[in-house]
Amino acid sequence: MDTKQVQLQYSFCLKDYVGDSAGLTSPEILGLSDRLKAALRSLDARRKQGHLGFADLPNAEGDVKDIQKLAARMKGKIDDLVIIGIGGSALGNIAVQMALNPLYWNQMSAKERKGWPRLYVMDNVDPEPLSALMKVINPKKTFVNMISKSGTTTECWANWSILRTFLEKKLPKGKLNQHLAITTDPLKGPMREWATREKITSFVVPENVGGRFTVLSSVGLLSAACTGVDVQQLLQGASDMSQRCWNAEIMDNPAAVFTAIHYLAYQRGRKIHVFLPYAQSLYGVADWFRQLWAESLGKKLDRAGRTVEVGPTPVKALGATDQHSQIQLYLEGPQDKLVTFMFLQNEKTVLKIPKDAPAPLGGHTLGNVLKAEGLATRAALTEYGRPNLSFWFPEVSAYTLGQIFFLLEMSTALMGELFDINAFDQPAVELGKKLTKSLLSGQPADQRLFKDNPSHYV
């Protein structure tokens, strides 16, 4: 076995461990084999037709070399890298940064950052974070990466319009475009036209990869490369995991086992799927997964057009912090959750607790205490009859991060097959976009939806 493999451990969701009423059995998981094999075949057929772009990203040439060249040019010259993107054009970037660079990266000196820039992700349309950003960046040493697959994302344009004005005032005339890279559709949309017209550095979001599956495309790789992350190792991890996730031997396929267990749990009323990393560095992965799982699987209609209103609610939590916030509920509340831990086999940074600390802490490392709290919390969940899974990371590295990204993307695709829904669209979000445009242009599409009763205020 490759000792750098991320592994899924599933003992503690079984009847033998959590009891008959909450637990599953291995035969039940195996019982989904035929459906999962069919799902794999169906996905592979679509992949071959070019409709499953995310699955090819780990081995795609893509823009990797150009991104690495840009990163090399940025090193030592750019202090502040600003990503303007939202949803799938931000969550992966944040997850990579949180996992692989120190928590207070932006406060470290350029030397400590080895010349790589600070990183800011503007993933909202809120004046507070944007004005805070403009207080701390140095325009002359700022580089902006605008990311929008369609090229039309309102939030990106709103942020850019303001930031552009701020930068233009401080930069020599005509230099703005040298501080900008655009990541968008290869052929169409207003950002592609703009990049072509003004010869702005640009990268491609492949047409057949949906926003929430783009972390391993230029979308996620640019900010990763520019903050010193080994993007080849990210892709290698994903590529190696991809081998495991196409395995038709279901019990050897971690995506298939993860999916089968979540599907069975869902069918039995466990519709809340908690991701609980015992590593602050992996909290961003939980947030990234939250979009993937919710937006892909939350659907009104199945593929035959029947109303199903299906979809698990993903919840991000953090060990050990949330032991003092959520664990009481997870232990004693309704039996409506499946908890997935993420554990590190070995800590990255070794901090020794002095021997004179209160027992039993003295002599342990801090990572050891964190792991003990995680294992104890898992044991408590098990004792309370609450099924749970564990991912084990041999380390937090670009290589293991690439693995977990691919594993969870593939699980999402498989879960869509079991639910018999389209996991790759998001039909409902259009209404909100339409209504926003109506409001801003002064013509509410449907006054009725905005009218309330003034007596309903307390």
Site for its own copies in 374-433 (CB under 8 A): 375-377, 379-380, 382-384, 392, 426-429, 431-433
Q: By CB under 8 A, how many residues form the interface with its own copies?
A: 144
Q: Between 103 and 187, name the residue whose CB sits nearer to its own copies.
A: 103
User: Using CB under 8 A as the criterion, what x/- string covers residues 323-352 for binding its own copies?
Assistant: xxxxxxxxxxxxxxx---------xxxxxx
Please tell me whether residue 450 binds its own copies under the rule CB under 8 A: yes
Please tell me whether residue 248 binds its own copies under the rule CB under 8 A: no
Alpha helices in 268-352 (DSSP H): 283-297, 327-332
Who's near 440: CB < 8 A, 6+ residues apart? none
Q: Between 190 and 228, name the residue whose CB sits nearer to its own copies.
A: 190
Q: What is the DSSP annotation of 388-412?
A: EEEEEES--SHHHHHHHHHHHHHHH
338, 274 Cβ separation under 8 angstroms: yes
Shortest Å, Cβ 181 to its own copies: 19
**Cα gap 450→439, rounded to integer Å:** 10
Please tell me whether residue 104 binds its own copies under the rule CB under 8 A: yes
Take residue 78 and report the two structure tokens written for it: 């750019």
Residue 295 among the catalytic residues: yes
**Cα gap 91→99, rounded to integer Å:** 12
Measured CA distances, 172 to 75, 179, 321 (Å): 21, 11, 47
User: Using CB under 8 A as the criterion, what x/- string covers residues 203-232 for binding its own copies?
Assistant: --------x---------------------
Nearest partner of 258 among 415, 417, 433, 97, judged by Cα: 415
Please tell me whether residue 154 binds its own copies under the rule CB under 8 A: yes
Instruction: Please select the residue that binds its own copies; options are 22, 81, 130, 215, rule is CB under 8 A.
Output: 130
| Touching its own copies, residues 160-189 (CB under 8 A) | 161-162, 164-165
**Cα gap 118→84, rounded to integer Å:** 14
Please tell me whether residue 38 binds its own copies under the rule CB under 8 A: no
Q: What is the DSSP annotation of 205-258?
A: --TTS-GGG-TTSHHHHHHHHHTT--HHHHHHHHHHHHHHHT-SSGGG-HHHHH
| Touching its own copies, residues 255-294 (CB under 8 A) | 257, 271-272, 279-281, 290-291, 294
Measured CA distances, 301 to 124, 134, 342, 423, 429 (Å): 29, 44, 32, 11, 15
Stretch of residues binding its own copies (CB under 8 A), selected from 34-42, 47-55, 181-189, 247-255: 247-255
Shortest Å, Cβ 225 to its own copies: 22
Shortest Å, Cβ 250 to its own copies: 9
Q: Between 11 and 59, name the residue whose CB sits nearer to its own copies.
A: 11
Nearest partner of 217 among 163, 149, 266, judged by Cα: 149
Instruction: Please select the residue that binds its own copies; options are 30, 60, 110, 125, rule is CB under 8 A.
Output: 125
Instruction: Please select the residue that binds its own copies; options are 372, 394, 420, 422, rule is CB under 8 A.
Output: 372
Q: Between 29 and 71, name the residue whose CB sits nearer to its own copies.
A: 29
Q: Determine which one of 149, 179, 295, 299 is catalytic.
A: 295
94, 55 Cβ separation under 8 angstroms: no
Q: Between 75 and 337, name the residue whose CB sits nearer to its own copies.
A: 337
Measured CA distances, 276 to 197, 257, 340 (Å): 46, 18, 6
How many Å is the Cα radius of gyration of the chain? 23
Instruction: Please select the residue that binds its own copies; options are 4, 37, 140, 364, rule is CB under 8 A.
Output: 364
| Touching its own copies, residues 72-101 (CB under 8 A) | 86-88, 90-91
Instruction: Please select the residue that binds its own copies; options are 37, 268, 369, 395, rule is CB under 8 A.
Output: 369
Q: Could you give the residue numbers annotated as active site? A: 295, 324, 433
